[in-house]
Structure formats: C-alpha cells, structure tokens
Copies of this chain bind each other. A is one copy, B any other.
C-alpha cells in the first residue's frame, strides 16, 4: 500500500490510504456548543458571521474540543445572496427568510455578480484567521447548491413541500435556467475565493435535493451542481456534495464531478457504495438522533457505520445531517474518539 496521506481527511477524500478514519460533523461550528452560545450572545447569526473575530473563534471551537480532522467555516448558505443585497434575514428557530421572494425575470437583477473580495471581505478575513490557527488541520469552505439556495429564494423561507420552486422549474424552465446560471456564477466565485485564502476542501450543500424525484434532480438541479464542480476542478482541492433523503439520487450525484458524496442515515454505506460506484469517496452517515440515545446505543450506531464503510479507502465519518442544537457535546467527543480508535476504511496501520 502507498504511504498514507498526511491529512487523514484529505487522503480519504481522494480515496487514498490513511492513518485513521477522519471524522468531522456538519454544523459542528456553532449551534450546540456552550462556548459558542456564550460568545455569540443574542445577536443575529448573520452579524456573528460578519464579525471575523467571532466567526474564526466559532470555527476553531469544535476543532479544539473534539479533535476533529477538519474545520468547516462558520457561515451559512444564504450569506452570498445576502451579501449582494437580495434581502435575507435568518430568523432564530425558523431559518432564512426572504423579504421578497424570487418570482419573475426581473428578480434576476437582484442577484448581481458576486465579487467575494468586495461583497464578502469578512468571510475571507475569517478564512485567513482560521487558516493561520489551524496548522495541519484542513479547512472546508462551502456554498449551497443552486437548487437548495433557489428553494429558499423562491419559497421565501424554509419549506416542507417546495411547491413554488417546483412550479417555477417546471412552469418557467427558461427563468429557472437563468436563476441557476446566476447562482452557479456566484457559487464558483465564492468557492474559488475561499480556496485562494486557504481552504483546502470544499462542500456543496444541496440539502433539500431529496425533495426532488430522480428525473427532476437530473433535469433541474444536477446540471448546476455539475457546472460548479467543473469550474472548481482545477483548484486541486476535493469537493464534497451533500444532501438529505438522497437515496434515489446517489448514482446521479456521483456523476456530478464531486470527489466525495455525502450520504444520510437512511442508506447504509455499503449500499451507497453500490449506487455511487468505486470512483468517489463517501461521507457519513450516523443518524444525528442517535447522539440523544444512551451511550452504548450511540457506540453501536458508530460501529454499524464503520462496519458498513468496510476497509477500502474512501470514507470520511460524519453525521447523516447536521448536529442538532440540543446535542450533548460529550456525545460527539465520544464519537470522534471511537472513530479514531476503530475506523478501518483505508487504514494502513
């Protein structure tokens, strides 16, 4: 076997042998950590993200506490559309809410070109600060996938049914393509800027892709995501594509050009491997709800994920969705230690 990569996380993203199974948690920065709540106080999350000192510290907190193998920027997928003035607020307990939802061609003008250095200097400042502190630990930059961002823009806020965005994509396909093009352009600019400032991996969150049928995903969502992957391939950093409820979409997601496909807890990783083929790595997929179960149940759940991941290279341990706000940090610490002790995927020791 070749020598393990220096970073277990980056090595696993490349399906290379590693010293240990890497682990990090979606939403590890912020949310459930008491040191985060103490730091942030009661202000808006968008204000906290816009303060590089706070955002960098929140990004670092889980790295220190858990010893995870990657940091992920403390930010939100609506930050770029907020920064160009679309009119977004993030309402506590509800999520991103648009002052005026996207509905017609004239709304395209509300999504001007994103210049990250001009519109998002605070995020890039945060990246600089985090990279300076992280040492060998990789930083994951990210953006929302065009479909998922569009779902917020069109629905006006979080949705369960996605009726407006589906009506738009089916009923006004030309407008939909234009909207996707706008969001692809801003996503690519933002991801490239994060890498220019030192991010060494990228994740595209298509969180709500699982609301689409396979044919809808292939026709209306995947092309935009694939365009982002194509336009970031030259950066030389691994790109992760994640969504929830994507069991029917995994084989399509594997064609996007992503190096890693995230899997939620509904599809065991051995079955996910059959669907995505051998060429991409897998990230996941512990049910976040199990962090609320007794510790022996949680440990058994971790071991089931590790067993299903098998011994071939290419597994990054993660939850199947983000850390829930009321999660006990000690449960996550136990998960990290257990994964490091017992993970075998591509582990050459």
Whole-angstrom distance between the Cβ of A123 and the nearest chain B Cβ: 28
Residue in chain B with minimal CB distance to A165 = B289
The contact string, 1 if C-beta is below 8 Å from chain B, for chain A 26-66, is 00000000000000000000000000000000000000000
| A122 in the interface (beta carbon within 8 A) | no
Contact B324 A293 (CB under 8 A): no
Contacting residue for A324 out of B163, B210, B266, B287, CB 8 A:
B163
| A104 in the interface (beta carbon within 8 A) | no
Contact A171 B293 (CB under 8 A): yes
Contact B266 A167 (CB under 8 A): no
The contact string, 1 if C-beta is below 8 Å from chain B, for chain A 8-29, is 0000000000000000000000
List which A268-287 residues lie within 8 A (CB) of chain B: 268, 271, 287
Contact B294 A166 (CB under 8 A): no
Contact B248 A297 (CB under 8 A): no
Complex Cα–Cα for A77 and B301 (A)? 31
**B residues less than 8 Å from A289 (CB atoms):** 161-163, 166-167
**B residues less than 8 Å from A271 (CB atoms):** 248
Contacting residue for A290 out of B166, B292, B326, CB 8 A:
B166
Complex Cα–Cα for A253 and B214 (A)? 21
Complex Cα–Cα for A210 and B264 (A)? 12
Complex Cα–Cα for A163 and B213 (A)? 27
Assuming A213-B265, A266-B210, is B248 touching A293 (CB within 8 A)?
no
List which A197-229 residues lie within 8 A (CB) of chain B: 210, 212-215
Complex Cα–Cα for A287 and B217 (A)? 13
Whole-angstrom distance between the Cβ of A46 and the nearest chain B Cβ: 23
The contact string, 1 if C-beta is below 8 Å from chain B, for chain A 223-244, is 0000000000000000000000
